[in-house]
Each structure stands twice: as structure tokens, then as C-alpha cells.
Structure 1
Amino acid sequence: MYTGFIAFLVAVGAVVLAEMGDKTQLLAMAFATKYQAGKVMLGVFIATVFNHALAVAVGNYITRFDGAQIWIQGIASLSFIFFGLWTIRGDKLDGEENRTTRFGPVITVAVAFFIAEMGDKTQLATIALATKFPENAVGVLIGTTTGMLIADAIGIIIGVVLCKKIPERTVKLVSAGAFMLFGFIGTYQVATQQLQLGMTTVLLLMLVLLILTAGASYYLIKKEKEAGHSDTYPSCPCPEDQIKKQQEDK
């Protein structure tokens, strides 16, 4: 029971971090300019349950290979550093917000979200979490689903309902930093507890990893600045979108 609750909390925190500024959060904000927020969140919930259930199943299956446990845990820990770098790089919509179906807003959002989540950062993070908590698959699934709903609700409320500009660079850097911290802690634990490397070797390994991560982060931040990306996420819908939303909600 206790470990299940820990798995739930870690999953919530990790996915909230992964989702902040992620493509699917931007997608939720885009759909909220067209449909009622409640319908958007219901669609997000449906898509997330199916998508993350698949991810948890994959992660749980991987852990059944007993001889590869050390490799699995090592890769899972390093993947969090990779997710941090991915967060710095950022995401953008590739037209998913224009996807429509004949089955109404909820199904439209659910289909678009399910497809957008395939291979996305939050789905991969869910797989990594499932490998870290193989005995608490349900806790991971509930936690990642809750985290997705929290992050997308934050985006919709702040960016669309309250019409406030969301500081993109600040959000990305904080989220990336937290992810990298988790990754370094996990890597240290694998090196000392499972690989049982000497402290000198561990410190050297961590130093090399820190240098590589810092260099990659600097490159991505510099590249983003050179590209002249805006420091805020899109917020309020234009008047035409508001009128269209009102008409479709009737």
C-alpha cells in the first residue's frame, strides 16, 4: 500500500513536469479555444487512460527479463536526463489541433490526444516509471493519468480561461532541471547499489555525465535563442475562435 502511494506520487510529479510545455499540453490549450474545457478534459482523460495503460504494460513486460534488470534500471534513470533535454528543446504542434471527427468534441480530442501521445515524452516517461515500479502498475497508471489532467488543466485555466501569458522558457528550464535531477539520482543509485562501483569511479562517471548534460543543455538553449522563439505560450483565443466555440457548444 505504502509503495503504491509512493509510485502514484512519483508518477504524478514526473508527468506534470513532462507535460509542462509538451505538445499535448499545447494541444489541450488549442482545443480549449474551440470546445468547452470540460469536454476537452474528458477527451484527454479517455486518451490518457488507453495510451498510458499501453505504456505501463510495455514497461511492466520489460521488467520480466530478470537478467537485464541492471540495464533496464540504468536506461530508465538516464532517460530522465534525456527527457530534461527534450523539455529544453520544446515541442510544437504539427496540425493535430485541426483534427476533426464526426463523433463530437470528446471523441475528436481523445483521438487527437491518443495519436499525439504515441512516442511522446510523457508516454516514454510512463514506460520508464513502470520499469521503476513494476509491482505497482495500477499506481503508476493512476498517477500518470492524474498528472496529465493536472498539467493540461493548468494550461487551459492559465492560458485560455484567465488569458495569462505562460512564461515558456522559465517553465521549460524548471521542468528540465527537475527531470535531470531525478536522472542523476537514479544513475547514482544504479552505479553504487546495483553495479557496486567504487566511489572514485562513480564520481568520475557522474562528472562526465554532468559535463555532457550541461553541454547539451547549453547548445539547446543557445539554439532556441538564435531561432528567436517567443518566451510565452499562446494564451487567449481570438474573437473568431470564441464565437465559433460558443456556436459549437450550443
Structure 2
Amino acid sequence: MAQKRTRRTAARRRRNAALAGGALLLILLVAFWSAIWPYLLAALAVGGLSAGAWRLWRTDRLHRDADQRWRREDAIQGGHRTLAEVDAMSGTEFEDHVAALCRRDGCTEVRRVGGAGDNGADVLGRLPDGRTLIVQCKRYTTKSTIAARDLRDLLGSKAHFGADLAVFVTTTRFSRQSLDFAVQNGILAIHRDSLGLWNNGAALQSLLNINGAGQGNEQHRARWKNTYGKPPQSRNQPRDSK
């Protein structure tokens, strides 16, 4: 009984002390209200602005993250397109696809300009290092061969636009003379095999290191013939489109 009475007394004292402290705080608040209310309002205003700024920042961050996820997924989807899907594209769709691959690899100011009066340029832009870029796109049947005069035309277009790098992209192969001409004149020649690498994730600039290679030896050409038919030695062949 004595212990219970002691506990009740201690609890009563703590309650009384709390009430006394609260009353004192209220008295002080009333007494000094005129002096502290500007600070309280300022604190509330700063808190509200901070909360609003944080909310805007978070909303912007969520939108940016969603946009980045969409771009990554779109790049992966684009990179996983098969060459059969590329073969089914129209000439304009192929140009758009090449422009998208350039953007994926960090090129800027990329725009498709192909069409009548394009002066030999289908895509223009800048490489990630700032150099200007001109691209000629030829979505031909796999039984066609790119001749040297196509590369000479692109070299003239490079001079016309003052581009630093010229790129020739095709869904077929280059003749031996055209590939030699490309390498000798600093033109990046992306034939079907290199296009497959680029289409599946290889960076555009990495293809510069293998320019002039990849069309294979006699065994490779024999497999090409079995798959697509014998590649012709000139341009005088029917083509699907540009």
C-alpha cells in the first residue's frame, strides 16, 4: 500500500510540474507575442517555400528519370532490331533509323535531310567530340553492290557541306574498288556486317577502328552467295529503294 501511495504521489507531482511548465510557456508566449510572432511567421514561410521547392525538385526528378528510362528502353529496342526488319524499311524509314542510331551514340544536332535536292546528304549532325558529320544511306537489296562512284559522290557532298567525317551506310556490300576508295579518302564505309554490329549496340565511333574490314575472305563471300545470291560487280542491278 505504501508503495502504491508513493507511486501515485510521484505521478501527481510530475503531472503538476508539466501543467506548471505549460502554463509558464503560455504566459511567456502571450507576454512576448508581439516580439516573436514575426519570427514564427518567417519560419512558417521558409518551411512552406522549402517544402514547395522540394516537391518541385522531386517532380522534376521523377519526370527526368522516367524520360531517361524511356530513352534507354527505346535505344535497346532500336538496337535489337534485326537486319530483316531493316530490310523491310522504306528508304525514308532507313534514313530515320540511321539518324536514331547516331543520336543513341551521343551525336548532336542530328537531322534527316534526305530527299530531292539533298546534295548527297541524308543525315547531318555532330559527333560527340563536336566534329561535323554527313551520312549517305542506301537501303539496297543484298544482291546489289555499292560502286566507287557512289563514294566519289559522297566525297563531293562532304566538301559541299564542309563536314569533318563522311559516313556511307548500306544494307548490302561494297565493291573492292569502292571500299578501297572509302579507306583512302577517310570515308567510314558501313556495309551490312558492320551495320549489324552498329544496329546491335556497337558505337558509331568504334566502327572507325574496323573501317575497310569485315567483308570477309573467300569463305565469307561464299556464305554470302549462298545466303543472298552472288553479289554483282557493278551497280547495273535492280534495287529496292534508295
TM-score higher than 0.5 = no
Q: Quick check: which has more Rg, 1 or 2?
A: 2
TM-score (norm: length of structure 1):
0.23
TM-score (norm: length of structure 2):
0.23
Higher strand residue share: 2
Higher helix residue share: 1
Structure ranking higher on relative contact order (CA contacts 8 Å, 6+ apart): 1
